Amino acid sequence: MTVPSVLPRGRLAVAGALTGAAGLAVSLAAAALLRERLTPPDAVAETVIDATPGKAVSVLVDLFGRWDKPLLVGGVVVVLLLLSALGGVLAGRVQLRGQLVFLAMGAAAAAAILTRPQWSMVSLVPVIAGTLTWLAVLPFLTSAEATGTRPAGGDGDASRRRFLQRAGIVALATVAVGVGSRFLGRQRRIVEDAREQLALPATDGDVPSGAQLDLADLEPWRTPNDDFYRIDTAVVVPAVAAAEWRLRIHGMVENELVLTYQDLLDRGLTEAWVTLCCVSNPVGGELIGNAWWSGVRVADLLAEARPLADADAVLQTSEDGWTCGTPLGALTDDRDALLAVAMNGEPLPLEHGFPVRMVVPGLYGYVSATKWLVDLEVTRFDDFDAFWTGKGWAEEGPVRTQSRIDVPRSNHRVMAGPVRVGGVAWAQHTGVEKVEVRLDGGPWTPVELGRVPSTDTWVQWAGTVEADAGVHTLAVRATDRSGYEQTGVKRDVVPDGATGWHTVEFTAE
């Protein structure tokens, strides 16, 4: 039986994809062995995130939520396998052409790694190992001898057998290396274990009496760590050991400082309730949480460093290279801007910035709340672009006064008559003065507010509206202690936070 001419092409595509997978597995194993935070596909994915315009990022995050990063890395791998298949087909005609496809992929991955912060020559080793694997495996699977493309020797069956043998060897080796690399990547577990052993002088923070109102289905006033929203650009969470962590405070200062974790603890912990909010939180959204933070006051550390008189900003950098710029004033006034080591009485979870992150009451996270913080440079706003401000977000990000309805939820059904309603309102570091609700465009009526320990947290509100049978619209607005009454004008989250009243429709019956 003769081999149809499409079969070699199909074989070549499979051979190329297998070659791609083999090099990928070797590069993953090398990255794990070297304890690199990012594998080559992770580095490509992070580079894509950095290069994506800000508006597109927020649309994609809305669309995919927590799946955005796994989907992106998966997409990178799919593209890699497709290009590899192409490389296999080309190699079947002229080996060099196929090799060029793999060399180009290796070069692209290397370029992505060079755009990552904190790269070293070692960071390139996984890509080099993967590329060398590609160059070795490609002829093994795609040479004329391997595929029987030019049936100089042997009939179709023999050549098919030979190809299947070779493909099988490569597939088995790939799976073995891939599985093996899972056992090599221990950095995160080492850091997790050491974190478990930490005994910090941090307390759990009792929820102040009167803060939690008695209304079923309100979000809890204290957000548990596991439920706290998470926003960051890291494809792989940095795993930084507390013992190895250093913070450098430098730039326009008279006294440069380098601090260890123990240096921080030795200065004594300040603890406070602070509500953290994301600028990308839409009206009525969930990108906000309230926690008890334990940390060292940034103002005290900056006082030791002695900023120069004409500095007006602090450029913060994280282990994964993310940056933000914070007004120096917000870090040196009397508010509790903290270098936090604990969240709700526990060492920071890795996802929330272990070992040290910043929290600044009154500012959105994108200009203040750096996780995995490693560097503070005292500087001037004129002299830098930070991650999000480089993508069209405002340079300064004071939190906008906002309010949200949690009860009833949109489209819920309730009993006609007096209906209990409730939610939260926030105006961090200004304080909420008053919250009002409005049913079906009627008059605004004030509701009850929970008691809060400071102006830096959200406040729960609850009230009762009279609703007869039918569909109703409930709106909420807050007035803060500066006298500002929350505007009903709807504006998008870009450039400095959404505005508008949160409104829900519900049915009474």
Ligand X SMILES: Nc1nc2c(c(=O)[nH]1)N[C@H]1C(S)=C(S)[C@@H](COP(=O)(O)O)O[C@H]1N2
Q: Residues interacting with Mo ion, by CB under 5 A?
A: 231, 278, 365-366
Task: Please choose which of Mo ion, ligand X, none residue 318 contacts, taking the beta carbon within 5 to 8 angstroms, the exact cut-off set by kind.
Answer: ligand X
Task: Please choose which of ligand X, Mo ion, none residue 320 contacts, taking the beta carbon within 5 to 8 angstroms, the exact cut-off set by kind.
Answer: ligand X
**Helices and strands of the chain, counted as H and E runs:** 12, 19
Task: Provide the minimum distance between the beta carbon of 143 and Mo ion in the complex, in angstroms, as a whole number.
Answer: 52
Task: Provide the minimum distance between the beta carbon of 214 and ligand X in the complex, in angstroms, as a whole number.
Answer: 27
> 322 or 506, CB closer to ligand X?
322
> 233 or 270, CB closer to ligand X?
233
Nearest to 126 by CA among 35, 15, 18: 35
> 390 or 470, CB closer to ligand X?
390
> 149 or 317, CB closer to ligand X?
317
Sign of CA dihedral 272, 278, 283, 285: negative
- The pair phi, psi for residue 490, each rounded to 5°, is -85, 125
Task: Provide the minimum distance between the beta carbon of 277 and Mo ion in the complex, in angstroms, as a whole number.
Answer: 8
Task: Please choose which of ligand X, Mo ion, none residue 261 contacts, taking the beta carbon within 5 to 8 angstroms, the exact cut-off set by kind.
Answer: none
**Single-letter amino acid, residue 215:** L
Task: Provide the minimum distance between the beta carbon of 209 and ligand X in the complex, in angstroms, as a whole number.
Answer: 27
CA distance 361 to 277: 10
Report helix, strand and coil shares of the chain as percent, to nearest 5. Answer: 40, 25, 35
Q: Judge whether 251 and 310 are in contact, CB under 8 Å.
A: no
CA distance 235 to 44: 10
> 139 or 282, CB closer to Mo ion?
282
Q: Report the half-sphere exposure of 251 (CA within 13 A, side-chain side).
A: 24
Task: Please choose which of ligand X, Mo ion, none residue 36 contacts, taking the beta carbon within 5 to 8 angstroms, the exact cut-off set by kind.
Answer: none
> 102 or 458, CB closer to Mo ion?
458
Task: Please choose which of Mo ion, ligand X, none residue 371 contacts, taking the beta carbon within 5 to 8 angstroms, the exact cut-off set by kind.
Answer: ligand X
Q: Which residue is nearest to ligand X (CB)?
A: 365
Task: Please choose which of ligand X, Mo ion, none residue 322 contacts, taking the beta carbon within 5 to 8 angstroms, the exact cut-off set by kind.
Answer: ligand X
CA distance 484 to 504: 23
Task: Provide the minimum distance between the beta carbon of 350 and ligand X in the complex, in angstroms, as a whole number.
Answer: 11
> 259 or 399, CB closer to ligand X?
399
Cα 182 to chain centroid distance, Å, stands at 23
Task: Provide the minimum distance between the beta carbon of 226 and ligand X in the complex, in angstroms, as a whole number.
Answer: 12
Site residues, ligand X (CB under 6 A)? 228-234, 276, 278, 318, 320, 322, 352, 365-366, 369-372
Upstream peptide bond of 418 is cis (omega within 30 degrees of 0): no
Q: Judge whether 205 and 345 are in contact, CB under 8 Å.
A: yes
Three-state DSSP state, 392: coil
**Single-letter amino acid, residue 412:** H
Upstream peptide bond of 355 is cis (omega within 30 degrees of 0): yes
Task: Please choose which of Mo ion, ligand X, none residue 42 contacts, taking the beta carbon within 5 to 8 angstroms, the exact cut-off set by kind.
Answer: none
Task: Provide the minimum distance between the beta carbon of 15 and ligand X in the complex, in angstroms, as a whole number.
Answer: 40
